[in-house]
Structure 1
Amino acid sequence: MTPGRPVPPPLAKPITVEHPPSVATNLAAAYGATSPGSGLVPLTVLRREPKDDDVEIGIEFCGLCHSDVHATRGEWRIPPYPLVPGHEIVGKVTRVGAAVTEFAPGDRVGVGCMVDSCRECDSCLDGLEQYCERGNVGTYGAPDPRNGDAITQGGYSTSVVVDRRFVLRIPDALDPAAAAPLLCAGITTYSPLRYFEVEEGDAVGVVGLGGLGHMAVKIAKAMGAEVTVFTTSETKFQAARELGADHVVLSTDPEAMDAAGRSIDVIIDTVAAPHDLNPYFRTLRLEGALFQLGLPAEDMPPVSPGLLIRRRLAYAGSLIGGIHETQEMLDFCAGHGVASDIEVVDASRLNEAYDRMVAGDVKYRFVLDTATLHQPSERADA
């Protein structure tokens, strides 16, 4: 546990996450938080009976995202507790509603960061559900207006029920555990690379080499790009090269950054802590772009407009991807042998995994084996 964080007491029995009786009939074992300081503890989630358009999924694996840590610990906002996190879900279909024809029991499927949207605004009609003008429905911690405003609960659970339109097919070529982080880290990095139309011969820079960064390197290389990793740590040089990076630059070395000047077409910035972007803009070629994917909790240093103006550079953001694009990403990764580097953990190690994520002690993503949710832990923080 993090120093100073209260250790949760042992639980005699799991806490039940209540949903409105009209929409919840199925029990699922889960782990989640009951307060900002509770850590992850055993819970029981009540899932709704599948409706006509629903797919019921028996979850096999769920990736652990750093945003899960922020959410469960109330570091962005105080969420509705109890809260079961997890938006990188892979499992097999167990039941389908009467109107579902594209999935059948036994199919391996996935669910990413959202489980619904308005389906009517321009963004949704353009296949950009992540930018839904009324707000998409997150996989966990969000009121779901189609289900009595029940709060959505995520994938640290043995099952989930999701509308068919937000269910993805996992290609057979992908290892199901290693595929789970693709549903967040994979699509988050794939989408801006596709938007910029990266192709063979382009030069891609990646800032940071964590869960997002390592996927950016792999996907950009699969697209045929020449990849440069910018890192503040010389200890990551070898790891970057093992992932396929062509060049590694120590970003704290002014001479190395000067040598990289005007050599990059597009930069994928995955760092979620405040940092100066101006040195990176100097590495961009004419009409290059820097996509900000990391979301720092504090203000970033100001960007010099002159750097943007003198070479018509773009500073852009990007949020996951739409459902169609996410399926495209999964198929691309299957076709190019791309998956996340993972460490599989059982339920008793979830709190340890969270603390290790905060410390940067993982290469590069943790994935929960949900079969272990059936195994009782001696302590809630074990």
Structure 2
Amino acid sequence: MTVKAYAAQAADQPLGPHAIERRAAGPDDVVIAIEYCGVCHSDLHTVRGEWGGTLFPCVPGHEIVGTVSAVGSAVTRFAPGDTVGVGCIVDSCRTCAACGEGLEQFCASGMTGTYNSRTPDAPGHTLGGYSEQIVVDQAYVLAIRHPKDQLAAVAPLLCAGITTWSPLRHWGAGPGKRVGVVGIGGLGHMGIKLARALGAEVTGFTTSPAKREAILALGAHHVVVSTDKAEMKAARESFGLIINTVSHSHDLDPFLMALARDGTMVMVGGPEKPHPMPTLFHMLTRRRSLAGSLIGGIAETQEMLDFCAEHGVVSDIELIRMEEIEAAYARMLQGDVRYRFVIDTGTI
């Protein structure tokens, strides 16, 4: 079927209207009429070719919320009219150890991303949520239980939410744990909300003193201005876990020094170039760890969505029309969004 979308035709060209083909529903497929799609920094990196390997035409978008319009004959988990979500993964090998453990993001054969992954379907790669409709195997579709008036703000949970939830859960954020979140943007503001909802003592690290009150309003107990040497010194050896969401290259040493003995800093932001090499003695002398985490599996994404519905957690968003996407990208590069753009796909 032919549906309307927005696509980049080349790395140096803006996104614009583009007709795409979606496959007919197979037995296990769910056809979803997309209502909202969050705008992730990964979308910008990909359409601009900054990470390499972009397949054009590129239709980004992996924070998708919509309504089931049809299901295949073997679908048992969903029915027309259901509110559902699609995150960053639409397929995986399903047979490797990672897939067997519900960690499809680490699939040994490589997960199939919601966009920019090779596929037998035309045009030879997956096309994402900047579109009217998507067809996804039921195994990779998620149930949304938030009320209707929150659905736009739910969309960023499908990437920003799970990207911070997964390491918070894996490294045991909860009561008695001091958690720092570095970078208070789309990912970071969700990290603060989720860590607070899990019961941790939460500190937001920001380069901007002007953001102090806004960060406290998100649920942080404390704020540290990372450009203030005195505040950073006072924060040394304080944290069991730091989630670093910053998506550009920066000095990691000050944040490693903020970890207590046996603390871990988890990197979740993909920089445009490698970070400077951290000073190993900052890790050796306190048995600190520097780790990475990639989105999350389908089961833990559903767990996160259910937790957020129960606790009333959503993203802080600015809803935009589809034709405003290039302006939104420009503002995103300047950090001019509190804290996530979401596209009203009814405007395509």
* TM-score where L is the length of structure 2: 0.97
Q: Distance in 2 between matches of 1:92 and 1:106?
A: 6
Once residues 159 and 149 of structure 1 are traced to their aligned partners in structure 2, the CA distance between those partners, rounded to angstroms, is: 16
- In 1: Cα distance, 2:321 partner to 2:81 partner: 24
Using the alignment, how far apart are the partners of 2:147 and 2:263 within structure 1?
34
Distance in 1 (alpha carbons) for counterparts of 2:11 and 2:272 = 17
How far has the Cα of 1:279 moved from its partner? Answer: 1.3
Which moves more between the two structures, 315-324 or 259-268?
Answer: 259-268
Are the equivalent residues in 2 in contact too, given 1:263–1:285 (CA < 8 A)?
yes
After superposition, give the CA deviation of every residue in 1:109-146 in whole Å (9 maximum; x if it has no partner). Answer: 0000110001111111111000001100010111125x
Give the counterpart letter for 1:181 in structure 2: P
Tell me the residue number matched to 1:317.
292
Cα distance between partner residues in 2 of 1:143 and 1:270: 28
In structure 2, distance between residues paired with 1:274 and 1:112: 26
1:271-290 deviations in whole A, cap 9, x for unaligned?
11121111111111121100
**CA shift digits 1:21-80 (9 cap, x unpaired):** xxxxx1111111111122110011110000001000000000011111111111211522
Counterpart residue type for residue 156 of structure 1: Y
Q: Which amino acid letter does the alignment assign opposite residue 280 of structure 2? A: P
Residue 111 (structure 2) pairs with residue 136 (structure 1): yes
Aligned twin of 1:208: 183
Superposition deviation, residue 148 in structure 1: 7.3
- Partners of 1:261 and 1:151 in 2: CA distance: 46
**Given the alignment of the two structures, is residue 160 of structure 1 paired with residue 134 of structure 2, yes or no?**
yes
The question of 1:363 aligning with 2:331 is answered: no
- Are 1:124 and 2:105 an aligned pair? no
Secondary structure of residue in 2 paired with 1:150: coil
Offset at residue 151 of structure 1 (A)? 1.2
Matches within 5 A, 1:126-275: 126-145=101-120, 147=121, 150-173=124-147, 175-275=150-250
The residue that corresponds to 2:81 in the other structure is 106
Residue of structure 1 equivalent to 2:275: 300
Equivalent pairs: percent with the same residue?
Answer: 54
> Is residue 346 from structure 1 mapped to residue 321 from structure 2 by the alignment?
yes
Structure 2: runs of 5+ lacking an equivalent: none
Counterpart in the other structure of 2:253: 278
Tell me the alpha carbon deviations over residues 136-161 of structure 1, each in whole angstroms, 9 at most, x when there is no partner: 0010111125x478311000111000
- Whether the aligned pair in 2 keeps the contact of 1:269 and 1:292 (CA below 8 Å) is yes
CA distance in 1, matches of 2:157, 2:272: 24
Per the normalisation by structure 1, the TM-score is 0.89
What is the rounded CA distance, in whole Å, between the counterparts of 2:73 and 2:7 in structure 1?
31
What is the number of equivalent residue pairs in this alignment? 347
* Structure 2 Cα separation of the partners of residues 116 and 233 of structure 1: 40
Q: Counterpart of 1:81? A: 56
For 2:9, the equivalent position in structure 1 comes to 34
Q: Is the 8 A contact 1:143 1:149 kept in 2?
A: no
- Matched-pair contact (CA < 8 Å) for 2:21–2:122: no
> Pairwise CA RMSD of aligned residues?
1.2
Q: Which amino acid aligns with 2:237?
A: R
User: Which deviates further from its counterpart, 293-302 or 317-326?
Assistant: 293-302
SS in 2 for 1:180: helix
Deviation at 1:165, TM superposition (A): 0.5
2:49 aligns to what SS in structure 1?
Answer: coil
AA aligned opposite 1:331? D
State the distance in 1 between where 2:275 and 2:130 align.
Answer: 33
For residues 209 and 151 of structure 1, the distance between their equivalents in structure 2, rounded to whole angstroms, comes to 33
Determine if contact 2:267/2:292 at 8 Å carries over to the other structure.
yes
Distance 1:126 1:332, change over 3 A: same
- SS at 1:280 equivalent: helix
Matched, 1:94 2:75: no
Q: Specify the alignment match of 2:306 in structure 1.
A: 331
Are the aligned partners of 1:207 and 1:267 in contact in 2 as well (CA < 8 Å)? yes
User: Comparing 56-65 with 30-39, which one deviates more in the overlay?
Assistant: 30-39
Moved more, 229-238 or 123-132: 229-238
Structure 2 counterpart of 1:311, which letter? R
Instruction: Give the 4+ runs in structure 1 shifted more than 4 A.
Output: none
Whichever residue aligns with residue 228 of structure 1, its letter is T
